Amino acid sequence: MTVAICIYCGSVKGGAFVPCSSCGKTPDNEDDMVRSFVLTDHHFPVAQLQYLSEKIKSGSNLDLQIDDSVMQRMKAALKLLGASGIAARRSGN
Ligand SMILES: [Zn+2]
């Protein structure tokens, strides 16, 4: 299972784009989706995710350094995910 961190409240959740069970939010724009996508165990070791989770929970500004090339790759990947129906599911209520 994917370990992901909610970018809004710092809770651990089971996937980057699933609704957070703590705050109920789902990343709903491209930048938030990319940030959510980055905050998974695909990109950080779990120990690092826990650290980032604590930072979000304590209200610190997450200074995620995502360089442009990574951002572009992520956005391209998100388009593929969208094409497979995840974005459509996400926008439904
Ligand atoms: Zn949350």
- Residue-wise pLDDT for 20-74, tens only, equals 999 999 998 888 888 898 899 988 899 999 999 999 999 987 777 777 887 788 8
Count of domains for the chain = 1
Ligand 1: centre distance to CA 76 (Å): 25
Ligand 1: centre distance to CA 38 (Å): 15
Neighbours of 33 (CB within 10 A): 24
Ligand 1: centre distance to CA 92 (Å): 18
**pLDDT value at 93 more than 60:** no
DSSP H helices in 1-85:
30-38, 46-57, 68-83
Q: What is the span of the domain harbouring residue 19?
A: 4-91
The model's pTM is 0.75
Q: Which two tokens stand for residue 15?
A: 């996937």
